[in-house]
Amino acid sequence: MARPLMNLLKKDAVWSWTSEAQQAFEAIKTSLQSAPILALPDEDRPFSVVCDASDFAIGCALLQVDAEGRERVVSFQSRQLTAEKNYPVPDKELLAMKYALVKFRYNFTVEYKPGKQNVLADALSRRPDYELAHLAYLESPLYELIREAYAEDDDLAGLVEALSVPNKAVELTARQRSRRHRYSVVEGLLYYQVDEGEPRIVVPNDEDLRHRVLYEAHDTPLSGHLGREKTYTSVVRNFWWPHMYKWVRKYVQTCETCQRVKPVPSASAPVMSLPVPADCWRSVSMDFIFELPADARGHTGILVFVCRLSKMVRLAAARKSVTAPQTAQLFVDNVFRHHGLPKAFVSDRDPRFVSHFWQHLFRLLGTRLDMSTADHPQTDGQTERVNRVLEDILQSVCAAEPTKWSTLLPQVEFALNHAVHSSTGFTPFYVNGLRHPLTDRTQQQSEGPPGHESQSGDGERPGPTPLPLRAPLPLLDNEGILYYHVEKLRKRRGRSGQYQYLVKWRGYPSTRNWWEPGDRLEEDCADLVAAFERAHGPGQR
């Protein structure tokens, strides 16, 4: 409270009566005129001590009754708990008593005082500045959708009930009885264990729910529209349902974005491979991708770093005019601070890597520059491959706003490092740290169709194109606010006494269809709802 005033009393301090000093002065005057004001101890009167403990601090106060019969505070004491936070509650309370004994050195008798009456010590043990943080546990909204869908799945409803209430007689199929030992229910979610692997969440037989899971594993920027195998390994890590691979294969094959932006694979000359390093980030390959649309900072390229063992990728946005010193700084910012200095670099014969600056830097640090053979850039085959995959991902996730590609680089980098690599059989994250990072593939999607799609007039698949694909037509209302137009109502279902309609959105493929409440659609497109009712008749809510 008095810090601004104390700063003015320091040696060589410049006298400047600021607003903070005035506020401190007024606060001190107010506290001296208001309770609680510490009283001077009277040795002829008895003292009392109150103490209390919370999860993160302990506190105590020395009290005395004055001549007018008022209980006055003589001293306050409190402190934070260290490793003592792990003590059980009774031990914390005794620790508060010990702390009071050490501070006030008195002969005592213990009397219990209920917490509601022990206001003073309770407040001291709960000072907000002692509490370091509150833990917040996040749960995906998809989990609640899965729990609700179990009740509508005839095959799984009984199995969930049998595992949740073991003593209840529930009729199971012969297949379920033979595999019952593989199933378990945790917090309302049904898990299935395949062989020796980790248990996976069972997704009910709900087409929309399974498509939602596949959307999160394939279409989001964190997933990067990767291919069939990588999408499958991403889904199978956490979820399970019968014939999952066929679902993934069909979903990826019918992904309109992938069909538009990914070129047809063609045969290439054999790659001259380099020796495999013995450890992660001991050998790093580097390359540039240029000719991208300029972002807000003028970046038109990406510097790609790849660990040649784990295949982990680091990406950095760069300008076309990037110099050797700037390239060195990008390396320090994106690779060196996380993984240290490699023993060898692999690059093409780009002047940015063979300039005198780089040669001097490598010589000082004892690093060898392994140059690829002239006239054959595929020597550094893995970086060339990463570049192609990176361009495909950027075309997929930035089709609507090509100039914002640099803002999505962290998500794209995560998608590349979170996908299983064919050469190792593991994700780069796992090879580097022996763990998979937690993700929320089931984040709540915003109202309307998720993501943005190219809205080309025809359905033909274009050949290899630069990043700036044709953007979607602007769908705006009269006030310029983004608005999704309903093209057609596909299906209807009853949920909680209300109708929901499966909506086909104008300008978006059928894979982006989504269920919308009927009352909302009746406000926005009553004619389409009426036409659907006439064609299909009244339904059951």
Supply the pLDDT for residue 480: 43
Other beta carbons within 10 Å of 510? 12
Tell me how far apart the alpha carbons of residues 369 and 297 are, in angstroms, rounded to a whole number: 31
* Domains defined along the chain, listed by start: 47-124 (3.10.20), 141-261 (1.10.340.70), 283-433 (3.30.420.10), 486-536 (2.40.50.40)
C-alpha of 437 from chain center: 9
CB hemisphere CA count around 196 (13 angstroms): 0
String of b and e for 311-341 (b: at least 16 CB within 10 Å)? Answer: bbbbbbbbeeebebeebbebbeebbbeebeb
**Which sign does the torsion angle of CA 252, 253, 255, 261 carry?**
positive
pLDDT of residue 535: 85
Question: Quick one: 271 exposed, middle or buried, by C-beta within 10 A (0-12, 13-18, 19+)?
Answer: middle
Closest CA to 514 of 217, 208, 260: 208
Would you write out the chain's pLDDT as a tens digit for each of its 541 residues? Answer: 677 887 888 877 888 888 888 888 888 887 766 666 788 888 888 888 888 898 888 989 999 988 888 888 888 888 888 888 889 888 998 999 999 888 888 777 777 777 667 666 666 666 555 555 555 555 667 888 898 899 888 888 888 888 888 777 788 888 888 888 888 998 889 999 887 778 899 999 988 889 989 988 888 887 888 888 889 988 998 899 999 999 999 888 888 777 777 765 555 545 556 778 889 999 888 888 888 999 999 999 999 999 989 999 999 999 988 887 788 888 888 988 899 888 877 776 555 555 665 666 676 566 666 554 443 444 556 667 788 888 888 888 887 788 889 999 999 999 899 888 888 888 899 899 888 887 765 443 333 344 333 333 333 333 333 333 323 333 444 444 445 678 888 888 887 778 888 888 776 666 667 788 888 888 878 888 888 888 887 765 5
C-alpha closest to that of 260 among 168, 134, 395: 395
Say what the pLDDT of residue 399 is.
72
Q: Are 234 and 223 in contact (CB under 8 A)?
A: yes
